[in-house]
Structure 1
Amino acid sequence: MENASNLKSKMYVLDTNVLLHEPLAYLSFQEHHVVIPMTVLEELDHIKDRKHDVSRDARVAIRGLDEILKNATPEQMLQGVALPSNKKAKTASNGTLIIVNDHLFADSISGLPGNENDHRIINCAVHLQKQHTNSKVILVTKDINMRLKAKGAGLNYVEDYRTDQLIDDISLLTSGYKKIAGDFWQHVGQCNTEQYGRETLHHVAKNLIPDVFYNEYLIDEGDQFAARVKSYDEEHITLKDIGYERLMNQGAWGIKPKNIYQGMALDALLDTSIELVILTGPAGCGKTLLALASALEMVIEKGIYDKVIVTRNTPEIAESIGFLPGTEEEKMAPWLAAITDTLEVLHKGDENPISSRNYIMEKANIQFKSVNFMRGRSIQNAVVILDESQNLTAAQLKTIITRCGEGTKLICTGNLAQIDSNYLTPVTSGLTYIVERFKNFEGSATINLNGVVRSRLASFAEENL
Structure 2
Amino acid sequence: MSADKLYILDTNVLLHDPNCLYEFKEQDVAIPMTVLEELDSIKDRKQSVAQEARHVIRAIDNILSAATSPTQITKGVQILVPGTGDDSKLGKLSVFPDHELTSRQGFLPIEKNNDNRIINCALHLQSSDPHRDIILVTKDINMRLKAMGAGLQKVEDYRKDQLVSDVELLPSGHYHIEGNFWEKVSDVKSYQEGPNTYHKVSPDLLPEAYVNQYVFDDSNDFAARVESIDHEKTVLRDLGFGHLMQQSCWGISPINIYQAFAMQSVLDEDIDLCVLNGAAGSGKTLVALACALEMVIEEGRYNKIIVTRSTPPVAEDIGFLPGTEEEKMTPWLSSIHDNLEAMHENDDRPQSSVKYAIEKANIQFKSLNFIRGRSIQDAVVLIDEAQNLTPQQLKTILTRCGKGSKMICLGNLAQIDSNYLTPLTSGLTYIVERFKGFDGAANIHFEGIFRSRLAEYAEEHL
| TM bracket (short chain) | over 0.9
Partner of residue 177, structure 2: 180
Q: Which residue of 2 aligns with 1:318?
A: 315
1:81 and 1:377 mapped to 2: Cα distance?
A: 36
Query: Using the alignment, how far apart are the partners of 1:452 and 1:261 within structure 2?
Result: 11
1: CA distance between counterparts of 2:369 and 2:60? 28
Asked if residue 107 in structure 1 is aligned to residue 103 in structure 2, the reply is yes
Q: Deviations over 1:224-243 (max 9, x none)?
A: 22110112234322110112
Structure 2: which amino acid aligns with 1:411? I
Opposite residue 123 of structure 1, the aligned amino acid is N
The yes-or-no answer on 1:422 pairing with 2:419 is: yes
1:30-79 per-residue CA deviation (whole Å, 9 max, x = no partner) reads 12122222222222233233333322322222222222222323343343
Alignment check: 8 A CA contact 2:292 2:380 kept: yes
Asked if 1:290 is matched to 2:297, the reply is no
| Equivalent in the alignment of 2:440 | 443
Match of 1:157 in 2: 154
Please say if 1:351 is aligned against 2:348.
yes
Quick check: 1:45 aligned with 2:43? no
Alignment deviations for residues 278-337 of structure 1 (CA, whole Å, 9 cap, x no partner): 111111111111111111221222222222222223223235622565233322222222
Asked if the contact 2:449/2:456 (under 8 Å) is kept, the reply is: no
Rounded to whole Å, the distance in 2 between the matches of 1:122 and 1:366 is: 48
CA distance 1:337–1:39, shift in 2 (3 Å): closer
Is the Cα contact below 8 Å between 1:39 and 1:117 reproduced in 2? Answer: yes
Which residue identity lines up with residue 126 of structure 1 in the other structure?
L
Summarize the Cα distance change of 1:376–1:98 in structure 2 as closer, same or farther, 3 Å threshold: closer
Q: 1:429 offset after TM fit, Å?
A: 1.8
Counterpart of 1:63 in 2: which secondary structure? helix
Following the alignment from structure 1 to structure 2, what is the Cα–Cα distance between the partners of residues 363 and 103? 59
SS of equivalent to 1:376: coil
Greater Cα shift, 90-99 or 66-75: 90-99
CA distances 1:238-292 after superposition (whole Å, capped 9, x unpaired): 1101121211122212212111111111111211211111111111111111111
- Is contact 1:30–1:86 with CA below 8 Å preserved after alignment? no
Counterpart of 2:58? 63
Instruction: Report the Cα offset of residue 182 of structure 1.
Output: 2.7
- Distance, in Å, in 2 between the alignment partners of 1:110 and 1:217 is 60
Deviation at 1:123, TM superposition (A): 1.1
Most deviating of 66-75 and 150-159: 66-75
Counterpart selection for 1:12 from 7, 12, 19: 7
Matches of 1:172 and 1:87, distance apart in 2: 35
For 2:366 and 2:327, the matched residues in 1 are separated by: 10
Report Cα offsets for 1:418-454 as digits up to 9, x if no partner: 1222232222222222212222321111111024556
Aligned with residue 77 of structure 2, among 68, 75, 81: 81
Range that drifts further, 254-263 or 99-108: 99-108
1:392 to 2:389 alignment: yes
Decide whether the 8 Å contact of 1:109 with 1:123 is kept in 2: no
Q: CA deviation at 1:122?
A: 0.9
Contact 1:259/1:452 (8 A) holds in 2 = no
CA distance in structure 2 between the partners assigned to 1:177 and 1:267 by the alignment: 13
CA distance in 2, matches of 1:365, 1:58: 34
Distance 1:295 1:94 in 2: 46
Unaligned runs of 5+ in 2: none
Contact 1:226 1:242 (C-alpha < 8 Å) held by counterparts: yes
Count of residues in correspondence between the two structures: 459
Deviations for 1:166-206, whole angstroms, at most 9, x for unmatched residues? 22222122211111233223333212221113211112233
Could you say if the C-alpha distance between residues 312 and 106 of structure 1 is closer, same or farther in structure 2, counting changes exceeding 3 Å? closer
* One-letter amino acid of the structure 1 residue matched with residue 141 of structure 2: I
1:224 is the counterpart of 2:221: yes
| TM-score, normalisation: structure 1 | 0.92
Give the corresponding residue for 1:97.
Answer: 93
| 2:24 is the counterpart of 1:29 | yes
- Does the residue aligned with 2:190 lie in a helix, a strand or coil? strand
- Counterpart of 1:339 in structure 2 is 336
Aligned position for 1:259: 256
Q: Once the two structures are superposed, what CA deviation does each residue of 1:368-407 show, in whole Å capped at 9, x if it has no partner?
A: 2222222333222222222222222223222322222211
Change (3 A) 1:363 1:33: closer
Post-superposition offset of 1:108: 4.7
SS of residue matched to 2:364: strand
CA distance in 2, matches of 1:432, 1:132: 38
Q: Identity rate of aligned residues, in percent?
A: 57
Distance 1:53 1:453 in 2: 34
Query: For residues 200 and 184 of structure 1, what CA distance do their matches in structure 2 show?
Result: 16
Residue 30 of structure 1 contacts residue 85 of structure 1 at CA under 8 Å; is this kept in 2? no
Residue of structure 2 equivalent to 1:327? 324
